[in-house]
Amino acid sequence: MWSALYPLNLLPLYQKKYSYCRGDFPNAKSSFQCVVSLSIHPVLKDEDIDLVIEVARSILAG
């Protein structure tokens, strides 16, 4: 199970379509580096939710 989140200006489609560059939107980049993205959705099984909780608790505990 994995989840990913990226600033749009780093995605090739947006770089090509809107001429975005890596240095554009520095706040988006710094925010992206601090975000935790949890893999949660309505069809997740209970055991998968338990795994997400277990991993999150482990990470937060250090």
Question: pTM for the complete prediction?
Answer: 0.49
What percent of the chain has a predicted confidence (pLDDT) above 70?
A: 94
Which SS3 state, helix, strand or coil, does residue 32 take? helix
Structural domain tally of the chain?
1
Q: Tell me whether residue 40 is in a domain.
A: yes
Name the residue with higher pLDDT: 10 or 58. 58
pLDDT of residue 51: 92
Domain presence at residue 1 = no
pLDDT at residue 1 is higher than 80: no
Residue 29 lies in a domain: yes
Average pLDDT on 18-45 reads 84
Burial of 25 (0-12, 13-18, 19+ CB in 10 A): middle
Asked if the model's pLDDT at residue 36 lies above 90, the reply is: no
